[in-house]
Amino acid sequence: MKTEAGLTGKRVLVTGAAMGIGRSFAMGLAQAGAAVVLVDIAKEPLAEVAAAIEKDGGHVLAIEADISRPESVSALDESVRRNFLGIDVLVNNAAIGPEKNSPRYLVDKPKFWTTPDELWLAMLRVNILGAQLMSRTFVAGMLDRGWGRIVNITTSLDTMYRQGIGAYGPCKAALEALTRVMSQDLEGTGVTANVLVPGGPVNTRMVPQESGLSPTDLIQPEQMLAPLLWLCSQDADKANGIRIVAQKWRQDLPIQSRLEAASAPVAWPQLGAQSKFPGSN
């Protein structure tokens, strides 16, 4: 089992861990020495990932759970406490993607008035409320221990308002804003909140064949692993409230050069104040 300094002994929970980016995260974190808790609603693919990690000698707990339901998250918390005694790192990766609106969303660009209300509500519950429920549940233990990580997977700014993307983009914009609030609330606690984005469409089920893009032209899920491993390590203790673009991450560069090339403040505060709050300068 390959290990990486700073992750051996760490307990990492990944949502949406059965397929795509989440599966890549799960396998890579386990290979780096972390004990992993894998959460998804896709029972059989989740079991397959867990079996692969166990076969490689990793420490894994797979739990089928709906992160959009408070009672499900509470039950998940109890199971984690029994088996892992807590979580050091939470990766909020689970999401309902734009392909649920139409597999040809990049070609036909469905209009906002054609997006079903049920899909809007499902995306809100999973893509943003789910991250909030998971974070407020598992941050308590991190705060008690004085160390922890919340890593939220969002998307690029231009994807947030891309035509045809439906509710997916606005939900990811909400998660980006929530991450900035989290990072400010957590400042000085030893727990951090950051964002990781691919930097373009990824070769997962969210970009179906009908989208018109070739899988070989897409970002591969494995490209997101290196910056995630860094964010999860103690080397990233001072990183709070940043967004890392995986496509721009250069593992061959010194860390400061990597960050200069691939990171920026989360939620674009560099755009400047857009309102005047009473009492502020």
pLDDT tens by residue, 104-123: 999 999 999 999 999 999 99
With a CB cutoff of 8 Å and minimum separation 6, the contacts of 280 are none
Q: What pLDDT, on a 0 to 100 scale, did the predictor assign at position 272?
A: 80
Rounded CA-CA distance 264/213 in Å is 28
Binned at pLDDT 50, 70 and 90, residue 73 comes out as very high
Rounded CA-CA distance 28/26 in Å is 6
Domain assignments of the chain as residue spans, ordered by start: 11-266
pTM of the model: 0.95
Class of domain 11-266 (CATH, top level):
alpha beta
Cα dihedral sign for 20, 196, 163, 98?
Answer: positive
Rounded CA-CA distance 102/90 in Å is 30
Catalytic site residue from 168, 202, 203, 233 = 168
Q: Is 161 a catalytic residue?
A: no
pLDDT tens by residue, 158-213: 999 999 999 999 999 999 999 999 999 999 999 999 999 999 999 999 999 898 89
- What is the three-class DSSP state of 53? helix
